[in-house]
Each structure stands twice: as structure tokens, then as C-alpha cells.
Structure 1
Amino acid sequence: MVSWSELPLHGGKVPPHLLVRMKGLAKAIVEVMVEEWGPDELVYRLSDPFWFQAFNNVIGMDWDSSGSTTVVLGVLKEISWKEDLGFLVLGGKGKKMLKVKEEAEVAAKRLNVDPEELRRVSKASARLDSALLQDGYEVYIHSLIVSERAWTVVQQGMNEELALARRYQLNHLNAPWEVPHSAVAGRRGEALDLTSKASIKTIDISLDIIDEGPKRVLSLLKSATAALKGQRNLRGEVLRGPQLKFYYPVRPSPQLERALADLYEFRPKRREELLVAPGAGPKVMRALALISHLIYGAAPSFEDPVTVPLDPFLYSYAVGGKDGVPYPYDVKTADEVIKILEEVVARAKVGEKERLRALRRLSEMVENLHARGA
């Protein structure tokens, strides 16, 4: 028995006959959620790693797969754009990440929200988990889930060397410089974490350095790099462990100079502005962290911010899993659950309050399924 899920990278697709039922289950559950608690609560729940994973499990996706994020977000996106449920899923995997800009315009009209605010949230969260948090995982899924009064961002990164994925979740209640993530789920490792409270001084010094101009930054970088080669800061203190790993290589280049020029022109004055400033990519942020640490003595955090090493055995499995874990997908039960939940929604719309009773029936059905030895 494993103690937690590592979200291994999995290829392939969900078989069509199972995907149809996953969509049916997801739609029925979402309709009940929206009817009972409203779209804002649904959007907020999706920022909870346990609720997200439980939702993934109950529709029949695998507990230990990078594809769980892709499938859940893909299914929810299709549902949200086809139905009028008060929420929309923007972005997605790969090139779909770039669609947030244009999809924000549609969301603004359908949900009465500010499209520029959606774009700002999207850009800031993407920057947070790619440039300010450098943990060896490259973000390849970026989805913004939004309702009129709430938003959640779900992102996923991959580490091809480890063949693992990592899920990042943020919501509208989390301040970007206090506790930016509602969760970071995956295997704990090493990181340069400029999103941490422990890195606030590093970021403040970086803002001051940016304001001195590209030439000054490059001059400081040269001094810091020289000190790094000796594996000591300018105070003579020895550098150890992940510090060396994340600072190499940071060398002057035309690309770095252009990025610093763009950043200087934007002139971010506050930490929040750094999240949307042009030029503040991973290499620039490593250079600024290196200068702040080695020259000014402000060491950033090298603690991996993983908060949830996912334990698949905490979740109940209503209909089985696509790959037969913990048992083969039970098509008959999935169809029964879809039917029950659809009836609940239909009755709720004409005033009958039987939703909770039906959900208890769903719970009993799961228990009976386990009792049969499935």
C-alpha cells in the first residue's frame, strides 16, 4: 500500500464509453451543487485539493494519475460552456492555456465580471507558479474557474525527469504574498520559493534593484556570480544544497538584458505588481534572488511549499477507476447514480426538497458496493 499519490505522468485517453458516463456523473453532481449551494461555492470547492480529488474519484478517474486534473477540468469546461450554471472554466492544457484572454470576454458578458480582472488573475497565477516558485515542474495546465463572485485557478506542472506531475490551486480568498496557494499537491522535493513569507525581504530588495536600472543589475549579477563560484556569499558564509542548484546558471545574455529593460520600464513598486510585470521570468527572478542573497544577505526560502501529499485511501470510490483501481469501472452503478442525481435536480426545480435524501442514497449505494466486495 502506498501512503500518498505522486501523480505520475500518464499518457493515453479515457475510453469513449467511460468518458460519456464521467461527463454524465459530473454534470449531475455539479447541477446538484449549484442548485443547493450556488455556483460561487462550487468554484470555491474546486480550490480544495481533497474535494477536487474526491470529485475526480467519484466520476471514475484514477486517483494516481496526472490525467485526473486534465479530465476533471476538461469535463467541467465542456459542461460549463454548454449549460447555464453560473460558472465557466477558462483555459486548459497546452495551447488552451492561451485562450484565457479571449474567453475572458465571453465570461464577462455571461457572468457580469470584469474581463481585465480575469486576465490579471490569470497572468499573476501563471507567473506565481512558473517564475516565483521554481520547483523543477513546468506548468502545462492553466485553468481559471470563475463565477460572478469567486474564482479558482488550478494549474499543473510536469517534471519529465521524475515522470511526475504537481497540482497547484489558488482562490480569490488567498492573498498572493501571505498564503498564495490553497494547496500544492504532489511529491515533496526542492524549490526556490519566492512566494513564501520567508522570501518577502528578498522580493523587496529585488524591487529596489530593478529600480536602479539594467546596467546596475548586470554589474551586481557579475559580482554575485563570482562569489557563487567560490560557493560563498560576500560575507564568507558557505552556500549549501539547493541554493547552488537553483542559482546556476544565471549568466548575462541579450535575452536577459531585454527582460531587465522591460522590467525597468514597467517599474514595479509593489510585490503584487511584480506578478504582472513584463520581463519577470524565471531567469530574471533567479538573478534577482542571487543578488539579494549573496550581496545584500537576504536569503530566499528554499523550502518546497507542498502542502498536500495526496493519500488516495482517504477517498471513497463510488464507481471504480478507469484503469481498474481500486476495481474496474462499474458502468451499471454509474448509470444508476446519474439517473438518481438527474431526478434530484429535476424535482428541486419544481420545489421538492429531496436533494440531501438522494445524496444519502448515493452514499448508501457506495457502501453497498464496498460490501459486495467490489
Structure 2
Amino acid sequence: MPQRSGSADLPLHGGRVPPWLAERMTRLGAVICEAIVQHYGRDELLSRLAHPFWFQSFGAVMGMDWHSSGITTSVIGALKRGLAPLSGELGLHVCGGRGRHSRKTPQELEAIGARIGFDGAALATASRLVAKVDSAAVQDGFDLYLHGFIVADDGKWVVVQQGMSDERRQARRYHWLSEGLSSFLDDPHSAIEGEGKGEIVNLADRRAEKSRHAQLDLLAALGPDGIARQYAALIEVPEPAPAPEAEQMLLPHLIMPAHHEVRAEDVVQPRLQAALAAAADRGPEDFADLLLVPGVGARTVEALALVAEVVHGTPCRFTDPARFSFAHGGKDRHPFPVPIRVYDQTIEVMKSAIGKARLGQSEELAAIRRLDDQTRQLERAAGGRSWDEVVAEEMRMSPSYGGRSVFGWEPG
């Protein structure tokens, strides 16, 4: 059975992703997915998408607000656009989305199934059940508004869906993975993101099996009107609160803070310093041509070091998604404006590496992997600038990097 892998509090943010960033997220998201499939296979990509910490870091490395609920919508949208032209090659299809797009998921699955050859009707049923479990069986106060269903040609799938609570100004993201799933009603989630807020009615927990049967028995014995009368009587004379269940599981969770700026405590400093050191060490040898580009070559290698970690890193390395915002900044100018020239070069380097790998020339992909290897080797020994110094330098250099945010271009 799949196990829940964690939870996180995601502050609700309004606004939309500007077109200039959405287009780049589409290209970078697709090429990162291609690299993961190239190195590790399609199943590994599905597993990553089902991991809430990795998913948040994936969005942050693409220039979205590092902590907000908007990462879910923007990443699903970017993958739907970016992977569609590659569906024949990668065997991956992204269905659903936000609002009205989520309601079209069953029809999309049936159409893809008819074209590819898997049982689209069965997956459409799975899509509906997943949504029902997280909206009705898990009563945690969050109303679903987004449902993304990523399915492979062999019928394996991952679902990422999100609910919101306007009252709390928070969102909760739910991750499902088909691998090992034998029941929709016994611990089906691969992960749930969201800060714990009191008691949750979770009828999708295997320990709720007796409760589910008891509810059906009660319905058969009393009928809806009888249950309503019994409930009215109960609320007139409140009963003492029951003792907490001893078996209640406490999930590991990632709490994304309400503050918008990226603070030093949000970043595991040795990891960032190691990535910068690895870029300085490997860059001249592996990216000599890139470093000949005036002004931004070395900075692009630093961004590539974090992209390399998203491609190759192990789950334990994604506990600080804020760190990945160093690669390409944030659309709202946190931690600094998006360095457009750096971003575009990152995409071009990754596209070139993937394109050559298709032709059997894997040197560039191997160079990107060496960046990640070197980062881990240097982590214990690397030192350097503090987070505040890094951000100050990025703000100073932002005009020369083509810094841009929702507020416009950075003045030179």
C-alpha cells in the first residue's frame, strides 16, 4: 500500500502567472521531466510528482512563488502544455487542471485510453473516486478546486489535487500514486500537504473501516430522517469530547510560512553553498563555451546546479524548497526578480543536452549530473556567502541578468 509521505501548509495567494513566466515554466518543466525519464525512467517521474517536497521544489526552481498554493496550479498547467507535444515520445499525458478543467478529466482519460489502448473508463472512475475521497471521505475543511491526473501509456498514474479554505487562507495539496494501490478506502494517499488544524474526519483511513460499516448499518436501521433526529438530540446535550485515538498517526510535514520573502532560516545554507561551490568547480571544465557568454555564464551554471538536483536529488534533499528559488528567482520579486537571461540559458543548455542524448551523445547530460554529484561531495566542506549576501548580490546584478517580475523590468 502507498504510504503518506508528508504534509505542508500552503498559504493562499491570488493573482495569475504572467505569460512571460508561464511560457518559460512550460519549457523548463518539460525538459526537466525529459531528463528524469532519460536517466531514471517514466515510473520514477511519476514517483517524484507524488512526492510533496519534490513537487514544491520543482515549482520553486521554475520561478514560482516558493511557498504558495499557486505552485500547484502553475506546475500542473505547465506540464499539461509542455508534455502534450512529447506525449508520443514519453508516453505521458496530463489531464484536468483547475476549476472547469478538473471536471473534464474523465472525458480526457477516456479519449486518451481509446487512442492509446488502456482502459480509459476505469481510469475515469479512478479519477472520480480520488476526488470523492479527498472531498467527502477526508473531511478536513478544504474544498477541492484543482485536480490533475498524469497517466502513462501503461496505465500507471499519479494524481495531484488541491483544496482551499478561504476562512484559514490556506490550501492543502493531496498526492496519489497508483503503484501499490489496492483500495480507495484504506490509506490510499501517497501524501497530503497541509498544516494540521484540529481533528480531521478521515474515512479513508484503514482504521475507519468499522466506522464506515457502522454508518451503513445506521442508515439501514434508522433511515435519513431517523439519523437527523438522533443528531439533533445529540447536539442539544453536548457529550464530553472523546479522548484522542492512541493510534493516530502524526505525519511528517513541511510547513510553508506565511511570510513572502525568503529568509535565511528557510534555506539549508550548506546545501546552497555547496551548489555554488560545485558550479565554480565544475563550470570551467564542463561548461567552458557557456562561460564565454558575457555577464551571465557563471550565474547560469549556478542555476543549473539546482536544476541538476531537482533531476538527480534524493527525497531527503527537498526539505527546503526555498533554496531552489535561487535558481530563477520569483515572479513576485522574492527572493529576487526572475533573471530572464539566466532562465533562458538554463532552458537552452537543458534542451541541448536532451537533444544530443537522443542521438547517443550524452556528454552534456553527464556534465549536468556531475554538478549534482559535486554538490553532495562539497556539502560538508563548502562555505561562502550567507543567504542575505547572496540575495543582495542578486538584487544588485538583477538589471544585467534581465531581471523581471510582475512589477516589470528591473531598472538599469
Task: Specify the TM-score bucket, using the shorter chain as the normaliser.
Answer: 0.7 to 0.9
Aligned equivalents of 2:238 and 2:247: distance in 1?
16
Q: Does 2:358 align with 1:358? A: no
Shift of 1:192: 1.6
Q: Are the counterparts in 1 of residues 53 and 254 from structure 2 also a CA contact under 8 Å?
A: no
Q: Does 2:349 align with 1:344? A: no
Given residue 189 of structure 2, which amino acid in structure 1 is its aligned partner? H
Give the direction of change, closer, same or farther, for the CA distance of 1:110–1:132 in structure 2 (3 Å limit). Answer: same
Given residue 253 of structure 2, which amino acid in structure 1 is its aligned partner? V
Q: Does 2:146 align with 1:141? A: yes
Residue of structure 1 equivalent to 2:241: 239
Give the direction of change, closer, same or farther, for the CA distance of 1:206–1:310 in structure 2 (3 Å limit). Answer: same
Q: Are the counterparts in 2 of residues 97 and 142 from structure 1 also a CA contact under 8 Å?
A: yes
Matches within 5 A, 1:1-374: 6-84=9-87, 85-147=90-152, 148-172=154-178, 173-174=180-181, 175-190=183-198, 191-210=200-219, 212=220, 216-232=223-239, 238-239=240-241, 307-310=252-255, 313=267, 314-315=320-321, 316-317=323-324, 318-354=327-363, 355-361=365-371, 373-374=393-394
Give the direction of change, closer, same or farther, for the CA distance of 1:220–1:10 in structure 2 (3 Å limit). Answer: closer
TM-score using structure 1 length: 0.73
Deviations 1:225-247 (A, max 9, x none): 31332113xxxxx2369xxxxxx
Give the direction of change, closer, same or farther, for the CA distance of 1:33–1:110 in structure 2 (3 Å limit). Answer: farther
Give the direction of change, closer, same or farther, for the CA distance of 1:17–1:116 in structure 2 (3 Å limit). Answer: same
Aligned equivalents of 2:204 and 2:252: distance in 1?
14
Aligned equivalents of 2:224 and 2:246: distance in 1?
21
Given residue 104 of structure 2, which amino acid in structure 1 is its aligned partner? K
Shift of 1:176: 3.0
Shift of 1:109: 3.6
Shift of 1:304: 9.1
RMSD: 3.1
How many residues were matched structurally?
307
Give the direction of change, closer, same or farther, for the CA distance of 1:97–1:302 in structure 2 (3 Å limit). Answer: farther
Deviations 1:294-315 (A, max 9, x none): xxxxx99996976523456313
Given residue 103 of structure 2, which amino acid in structure 1 is its aligned partner? L
Given residue 204 of structure 1, which amino acid in structure 2 is its aligned partner? H
Residue of structure 2 equivalent to 1:293: none
Given residue 14 of structure 1, which amino acid in structure 2 is its aligned partner? V
Q: Are the counterparts in 1 of residues 51 and 175 from structure 2 also a CA contact under 8 Å?
A: yes
Q: Are the counterparts in 2 of residues 188 and 304 from structure 1 also a CA contact under 8 Å?
A: no
Give the direction of change, closer, same or farther, for the CA distance of 1:364–1:15 in structure 2 (3 Å limit). Answer: farther
Q: Secondary structure at the match of 2:67?
A: coil
Shift of 1:184: 1.2
Q: Are the counterparts in 2 of residues 188 and 306 from structure 1 also a CA contact under 8 Å?
A: no
Shift of 1:80: 2.4
Q: Percent identity?
A: 33
Segments of 5+ residues of structure 1 without an aligned counterpart are 233-237, 242-298
Q: Secondary structure at the match of 1:83?
A: helix
Deviations 1:43-69 (A, max 9, x none): 221010011111111111111211110
Segments of 5+ residues of structure 2 without an aligned counterpart are 1-6, 257-265, 268-319, 376-381, 395-412
Deviations 1:76-97 (A, max 9, x none): 0112223222111111101111
Q: Are the counterparts in 1 of residues 107 and 124 from structure 2 also a CA contact under 8 Å?
A: no
Q: Are the counterparts in 2 of residues 46 and 152 from structure 1 also a CA contact under 8 Å?
A: yes
Aligned equivalents of 2:185 and 2:223: distance in 1?
27
Q: Secondary structure at the match of 2:176?
A: strand
Aligned equivalents of 2:246 and 2:176: distance in 1?
20
Aligned equivalents of 2:72 and 2:186: distance in 1?
26
Shift of 1:352: 2.0
Shift of 1:168: 0.8
